[in-house]
Chain A
Amino acid sequence: MTAAAPIALIDYGAGNVASVERALQKLGVSTIRVPMPGELDEARAIILPGVGHYAAIIRALDEHNLRAALLDAISRGIPFLGICLGLQALYSNSEEAPDLSGLDLFRGLVRSLPSTVKLPHMGWNRLCVQRRSKLLEGLSESDYFYFAHTFAANGAADEVVATCEHGASFTAVLEHKNIFATQFHPEKSGAAGARLLQNFVSLAA
C-alpha cells in the first residue's frame, strides 16, 4: 500500500463519520467512506467510528457483511482504529445488547459505568497511562479528551494502554499489534485529539 491510498472510514450511518472525515482532512489525509466489504481491500488503514447504541453498530456490520471482511483485514495487519462504540465492538459482548455478539478480538463484557455517578460520562477527562503506546506518542496525562458514553470496557486487561475513571476505572485507549481504539472521541478532542489521529495516520503510512 502507498501512503497515498485512502484511509477507509466504515460508514454504517453513525453521526460522527463526517466529523472524523473532517478531522482527517485537516491533517491532509484522504479518506473513503466504506459501506461495502470489498472496498476494505484497498485501504491502507481502517477506522470504525461509532456513536449511539451498541446494537446499531453490530447490526450494521452484519447487515452490510462487513464483519468477516473487517476481521480479515485486521488479521492481515492493516492498522485499525476504533472510536467509542468502535472500541466496544472489539469485545465479546455488551450489557447494552446482551443478545448480540461483538467482534470478540478481545475477551470480555462491556458494562455500564456505575450509577453512583452522573451518566452518560459526558465531557472532557484525562487519562491514566498504563504503558507506553504509539497512539499516545507526544500526549500526556495532562491532556483532556472528550468522552460521551455510558458503557465501557474493563480497564484491567493486557491490551489497555490508558484508563480513565468515572465511578470506576475503564478502558480509555487500547493497543494490540495493529489494533488501536479509544473510548473518547479524538475527532472532537481539540488539538490533543488531532495529535492522536496524526499518530494513527503515521502508523498507517
Chain B
Amino acid sequence: MSLASRIIPCLDTDGARVVKGVNFVGLRDAGDPAELAARYNSEGADELVVLDIAASRDRRPTFLETIRRVAAELAIPLTAGGGIRSLDDARSVIRAGADKITVNTAAVERPELISELSGEFGAQAVVLAIDAKLDSASGAPHWDVRVRGGRESANLDALAWAQRGIELGAGEILLTSMDRDGTQSGFDIALTSTISRAVSVPVIASGGAKNPAHFAEVFSAGAADAALAASIFHDNVQSIRALKQFLASECIEVRLPC
C-alpha cells in the first residue's frame, strides 16, 4: 500500500478560456475550462490545476468565476494560481473553490508570502511553482529559477529555492522545466530527480510530456510524485484513462478510473 502516482491536467487560461502556446508565446484557444474539467474528472484525473497566465488585475473577477465553474465540475482536488500576490488574493481563490493555491514570481519577490499562506491555509494548500532552466555555464548541473513567465532570471538556484520555500511552509513543489516546456520531448529527468530526491515534500513534474513512456520515466527515474501536462490532454492526443492503464502495466501504482 502506497501513494498512487498522480496525473494532473493543467488548464492555462487567459482568465476565461483555456489557451495554449509554446514557451508562453503564440497563444491559441483550447476550449472551455469547465467542459475540460468535467471531462478530466470523469476520465480519472487525480487533481486539476487551473492557472491564469494573463493574471491582470482587471480580469481577476473573470478568473474567480472560472474557478467557481471548474470547481463545480470536480470531485477531485483543485489547485489555482497565477497572479496571487497577497493573502487576500489567495482567500478569494480558495473561497471560489480551490483547495490549493500556487505561487511563483510573487513568492520570489517576497518569500514571506509563502509563510503567510501556509499559516492561514496549512502547508498542504501551498504549492510553490518553480520554473527552472539549466544553467550550462556552471560546472556541476545547476538550474536557474526563472520568473515572469520564464522571461527573467531570479538569480536563484532551483534546489536552494525549493528548500527555502519548504522551510517557509510550502507543502508541494510544482517544478516546470523551461528547457522542455512545450517541446514534447519528455520531462526533464535530471532536473526532476535532483529536486525530488533532495526535498521533503511531494514534487509535481511539468514540461515536455508527450507520450505515456515519458510519464513512466518521470515517475521511475525522475522520482516524481505527480506529473502535470496540458496540451496533450486538451487535444485528445492522450486520454488519461489509457495513460493510467499503460502506467499500471509498467507496475507504477495509479488510481485506475472505474
Contacts and interface: CB of A to CB of B under 8 A. Distances in A.
Contact of B99 (A19, A115, A119, A126): A19
B255 interface: yes
A115 B200 contact: yes
A128 interface: yes
A164 B6 contact: no
**Secondary structure type dominating chain A contacts:** mixed
B120 A18 contact: no
A189 B75 contact: yes
B61 to A, nearest CB: 18
Interface residues of B, number: 35
A52 B100 CA distance: 11
Interface residues of A, number: 37
A124 B257 CA distance: 12
B44 to A, nearest CB: 8
A120 B76 contact: no
A124 B3 contact: yes
A16 interface: yes
B166 to A, nearest CB: 10
A122 B99 contact: no
Contact of A188 (B1, B77, B123, B225): B77
B128 interface: no
22 contacts: A15-B94, A18-B95, A19-B97, A51-B99, A51-B124, A52-B122, A119-B201, A120-B124, A120-B172, A122-B3, A122-B172, A123-B4, A123-B202, A124-B6, A124-B255, A125-B3, A126-B1, A166-B3, A188-B75, A188-B99, A189-B75, A191-B75
